[in-house]
């Protein structure tokens, strides 16, 4: 289960860009750890929406990627 979150509430998080991003940008995401959740956003639209998923859901996604 996921939920959208305003970018203002997520602005204080420590965001990490995907290692697949490279130096040319491209189709990338950024993630930030929260208390019991992982925040996900588009690295090209930092002021856009943020999705939150449980740590378990994120671990399952990363495991399958």
The length of the chain, given as a count of residues: 65
Residue range 6-52, pLDDT digits in tens? 554 667 899 998 776 666 666 788 999 989 999 999 888 888 899 99
53 — pLDDT class (breaks 50, 70, 90): very high
Residues 6+ apart with CB under 8 A from 13: 32, 33, 34, 39
Q: Which of 61, 26, 64 is nearest to 51 (CA)?
A: 61
What pLDDT score was predicted for residue 10? Answer: 67
Distance CA 24, CA 60 (A): 28
Q: What is the pTM of this model?
A: 0.73
Q: Is 10 helix (H, G, I), strand (E, B) or coil?
A: helix
């Amino acid at each position: 289960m996921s939920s959208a979150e305003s970018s203002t509430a997520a602005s204080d998080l420590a965001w990490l860009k995907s290692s697949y991003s490279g130096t040319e940008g491209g189709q990338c995401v950024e993630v930030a750890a929260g208390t019991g959740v992982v925040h996900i956003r588009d690295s090209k639209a930092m002021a856009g929406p943020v999705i939150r998923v449980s740590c378990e859901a994120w671990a399952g996604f990363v495991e399958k990627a």
